Chains A and B, each alone.
Chain A
Amino acid sequence: MNALAIHAPAILAESLTKTYGSGNTEVVAMRDVTLQVQRGEVVALLGPSGAGKSTLLTAIGLINPPTSGRVHLGGQLVLDGPHALMDLRAFRRKHLGFIFQRANLIPFLSALENVQVAMEINDVTPRAAKHRAHELLDYLGVGDRARHLPEELSGGQQQRVAVARALANEPGLILADEPTAALDSQRGRQVMELFAKVARERHAAVLVVTHDHRALDVFDRTLEMEDGRLRESAPSSTSSSTQT
Chain B
Amino acid sequence: MNLAVRDIRHNAGRFVLTTLGIGLLLMIVMGMGGIYRGLIHEAILLVDRIDADVWIVQGGTRGPFAEISRVPVTLEDRAGAVPGVAWARRFVSHTVQREHQGRPLRMVVQGLAWPEDKGEWIPLTAGRPLRQAHFEMIADRSLGLALGDQLNLGRDRYTVVGLTRGLVGTGGDGLAFFTATDAMAIQFEVPGDALRLERAARRERVASQDLGQVLPLLLDRASGLERDIPSLSPPQISAVLLKLRPGVETQDIIETLSAWPDVTAYSTDQQKQLLLGGMVDRSRRQLGMFRVLLILISTIIMALILYTLTLDKLHDIAMLKLMGARHGVIVGLILQQALLMGALGYSLAWWLGQYAFPMFPRLVIIEARDLLILGAIVLAISVLASLLGIAKAMQVEPNKILAG
Contacts and interface: CB of A to CB of B under 8 A. Distances in A.
B397 to A, nearest CB: 8
Given A106-B316, A120-B1, A126-B1, A92 B402 contact: no
B402 A100 contact: yes
Main secondary structure on chain B at its contact with chain A? helix
A100 B401 contact: yes
Interface of B: 1, 3, 6-7, 9-11, 315-316, 319-326, 329, 397-399, 401-402, 404
B11 A108 contact: yes
Contacts of A108: 3, 6-7, 9-11, 316
Contacts of B401: 98, 100, 104
How many chain A residues sit at the interface, stated as a range, is 20 to 34
A104 B324 contact: no
A90 B321 CA distance: 10
Given A63-B399, A92-B322, 19 more contacts: A54-B402, A58-B402, A89-B324, A89-B326, A93-B324, A104-B315, A104-B319, A104-B401, A107-B10, A108-B6, A109-B1, A109-B3, A113-B6, A116-B1, A117-B1, A117-B3, A121-B324, A149-B10, A177-B402
A107 B312 CA distance: 11
Nearest to B329: A121
A34 to B, nearest CB: 23
A108 B316 CA distance: 10
Contacts of B329: 121
Nearest to B399: A63
Residue of A91, A92, A101, A126 with most chain B CB atoms under a 10 A cut-off: A92
B389 to A, nearest CB: 16
A181 to B, nearest CB: 11
A122 interface: yes
Given A92-B322, A92-B323, A93-B324, A109 B6 contact: yes
A102 B399 CA distance: 14
A64 interface: yes
30 contacts: A58-B399, A63-B322, A63-B397, A63-B399, A64-B399, A89-B326, A90-B324, A92-B322, A92-B398, A93-B323, A93-B324, A98-B322, A98-B323, A101-B404, A102-B404, A104-B315, A104-B401, A106-B320, A107-B316, A108-B6, A108-B316, A117-B320, A117-B323, A120-B1, A121-B320, A121-B325, A122-B324, A129-B1, A165-B323, A177-B402
Interface string A30-71: 000000000000000000000000100010000110000000
Residue of B1, B321, B401, B404 with most chain A CB atoms under a 10 A cut-off: B1
A118 interface: yes
A106 B319 contact: yes
Nearest to A106: B316
Interface in A207-232: none
Interface in A72-125: 89-94, 96, 98, 100-102, 104, 106-109, 113, 116-118, 120-122
B321 A89 contact: yes
Contacts of A104: 315, 319, 401
Contacts of B319: 104, 106
B300 to A, nearest CB: 25
A201 to B, nearest CB: 22
Contact of B1 (A93, A98, A113): A113
Smallest CB-CB A-B distances: 4 pairs? A93-B324, A108-B10, A92-B324, A108-B7
Nearest to A94: B324
Residue of A92, A93, A108 with most chain B CB atoms under a 10 A cut-off: A108
A124 to B, nearest CB: 11
Given A58-B402, A116-B1, A93 B316 contact: no
Nearest to B3: A117
B6 to A, nearest CB: 5
Nearest to B324: A93
A27 B7 CA distance: 40
A90 B316 CA distance: 18
